[in-house]
Amino acid sequence: MLISFIVLYLVISIAIGLYAATRVKNTADYAVAGRSLPLAVVIATTFATWFGSETVLGAPAQFVKEGLHGTVEDPFGAGLCLVLVGLFFARKLYLRHIITIGDYYRQRYGRVVEVLCSLIIIFSYLGWVGAQITALGLVFNLLSQGAVSLTMGMVIGTLVVLVYTLYGGMWSVALTDFLQMIVITAGLLAIAWYAGDMAGGADKVVAYAAREGKFNFLPTGGLKEWVFFFAAGITMMLGSIPQQDVFQRVMSSRDVKTAQRGPVIGGLLYIAFAFVPMFIVMAALLVMPETAALLDDDPQKVLPTLVMGHMPVLLQVAFFGALLSAIMSTASATLLAPATTFVENILRNLRPGMNDAETLKAMRISVLVFTLCVLVYSITMEGSSIYELVSGAYQVPLVGAFVPLAFGVYWRRATTQGALLAVVMGIGVWVLFVASPMLNEAFPQQLAGVLAAIVGMVFGSLAPQWLPNHKGYVHHLVEREAVTGEPAR
């Protein structure tokens, strides 16, 4: 019965995605849903995209091990990223009428920076999408009670997501996300209610978590611990900002106010609702005597084990429906984002004469190719923590793409030379710290990288200019043009 309901749900999701594909007439429809989504859909697709496997399985496992202190990256950093996007970036980017975040780098700094930052963004998606594919494999393995291997589960789940994403693009992602948000919230709330009753009441679960010190959020040590805590917080908070999946939700909005409000509301809802699976896992610690063994083996299995072993079939359907919704909504978005970035910001530079029909075909082929690459990567990384796969993915755009974006938007004197130096220094210092355990233990690698990028941006922009901007001029880009009206050569 459980498997039958899950199969039916997957079929419905595919049907909605394929129906949405009928709205796709051109690349703008495929990439940003024709810039026509209302506020409710933008909130839903933002929330559902962020609410992935790491929120249902990864973050609760971190909460059990380290308390709130261990969840600073996700949900706190991840949710605040969306708030920052809505408050500080959505309006400025929406008014540019561009399709990808890579287009901004081209307009502001030229094609070299566009290609470099686009490659950084595309590479970063391997970890995030890999986490979703890994979770899909785990779900099908649990549902089949081991009859379907983790690898085969990854293949099955990937094919389901690929079908509707390949044809419908952002329209399919948006409409399926709307359904999936409803399933996520309703399913997890019902399970939390039941789990609280099993544990003797919600007050007992909260009191138990407090006694165990799970609500301690801030560091209790010295300066070094605070530095590492800060670095963990900004990894997703800032590293997720220069990402195509976030940008697509902004650009898919029907007007600028929707583009601003959607990410803010979606981000706040995400932070609030992320506590629900944490609550359920704490209830599991009171209900299941076998929890200690699971914590030693794989904390990510605590929540599925509670549902499978101690809840009625209806709630099992609700849980796995919610879990699959969370995973598929994130996976579909993160398959589409790098594919559109590749076509718009890399392939178009190699083949500048492509018409709209050729571009749309290239986007669909890119979705297929990237999906196969991620599937191979996920199978190779089998056994890795979902939470670590996600958090590690955002270090690359943090050190390589965030500084050129933020300084480009808010600092008039940012130049092409400064942006290139920021990318080179940010990535270079980060790689140096990754390769040196001694440096990495002394100072967080992602913070070292982003600080180096800032130094590179400021020094490269204020120093004498040797590299031309996208117009072919060597000067301080916006400031000189704004003052004189005639750019200096």
249-292 tens-digit pLDDT: 888 999 999 999 999 999 999 999 999 989 988 888 888 776 66
Task: Supply the pLDDT for residue 290.
Answer: 67
| Contact of 311 with 304, CB cutoff 8 Å | no
Min mean pLDDT across 63-77, 85-99, 173-187 is at 173-187
Q: d(Cα 69, Cα 38) in Å, to the nearest integer?
A: 36
Average pLDDT for residues 389-393, to the nearest whole number?
A: 64
Task: Supply the pLDDT for residue 488.
Answer: 41
Q: C-alpha angle with apex 386: 295 to 334, nearest 5 degrees? A: 160
Six-digit token pair at 267? Answer: 């981000």
Q: Is the bond preceding residue 338 a cis peptide, omega within 30 degrees?
A: no
Average pLDDT for residues 322-327, to the nearest whole number?
A: 78
Average pLDDT for residues 318-333, to the nearest whole number?
A: 78
Task: Supply the pLDDT for residue 429.
Answer: 97
Q: d(Cα 159, Cα 330) in Å, to the nearest integer?
A: 15
User: Would you place residue 486 in the very low, low, confident or very high pLDDT band (cuts 50, 70, 90)?
Assistant: very low
Task: Supply the pLDDT for residue 388.
Answer: 62
CA neighbor of 291 nearest in space, from 210, 404, 198? 198
65-83 tens-digit pLDDT: 888 998 998 889 989 999 9
Q: Report whether pLDDT(327) > 50.
A: yes
Backbone φ, ψ for residue 37 (5° rounding) = -80, 135
Chain mean pLDDT for the chain:
85
Q: Is the dihedral of CA 478, 482, 483, 485 positive or negative?
A: positive
Q: C-alpha angle with apex 48: 360 to 275, nearest 5 degrees? A: 160
Which residue matches tokens 């697709």? Answer: 45
- The DSSP H or E segment spanning 15 is helix 2-20
Which residue matches tokens 């755009």? Answer: 397
- Distance between first and last Cα of the chain: 72
Q: d(Cα 453, Cα 302) in Å, to the nearest integer?
A: 40
343-368 tens-digit pLDDT: 989 998 888 888 888 988 999 899 89
Task: Supply the pLDDT for residue 482.
Answer: 40
CA neighbor of 341 nearest in space, from 162, 99, 13, 166? 99
Min mean pLDDT across 99-103, 160-164, 355-359 is at 160-164
Q: C-alpha angle with apex 322: 321 to 327, nearest 5 degrees? A: 100
| Contact of 195 with 362, CB cutoff 8 Å | no
Over pLDDT 70: what percentage of the chain? 91
How many other CB atoms are there within 10 angstroms of residue 298's CB atom? Answer: 14
CA neighbor of 182 nearest in space, from 77, 85, 325? 325
Dihedral (Cα; 112, 114, 119, 122), 10-degree rounding: -170
Let me know how many helices (H) and strands (E) the chain has, helices first: 27, 0
Six-digit token pair at 232? Answer: 């963990």
Average pLDDT for residues 451-477, to the nearest whole number?
A: 81
Task: Supply the pLDDT for residue 157.
Answer: 83
Q: Residue 114's Cα: distance from chain center in Å? A: 21
> How far is CA 53 from each of CA 159, 252, 385, rounded to the nearest angstrom?
17, 24, 11
Task: Supply the pLDDT for residue 222.
Answer: 86
Q: Report whether pLDDT(382) > 70.
A: no
> How far is CA 202 from each of CA 211, 260, 304, rounded to the nearest angstrom?
14, 35, 20
Average pLDDT for residues 98-121, to the nearest whole number?
A: 92
3-state helix, strand, coil in the chain (%, to 5): 80, 0, 20
Task: Supply the pLDDT for residue 421.
Answer: 97
Q: d(Cα 461, Cα 11) in Å, to the nearest integer?
A: 53
Task: Supply the pLDDT for residue 387.
Answer: 57
437-448 tens-digit pLDDT: 899 899 999 999
Q: Taking the model in full, what pTM does it have?
A: 0.85
Task: Supply the pLDDT for residue 384.
Answer: 60
Task: Supply the pLDDT for residue 489.
Answer: 38
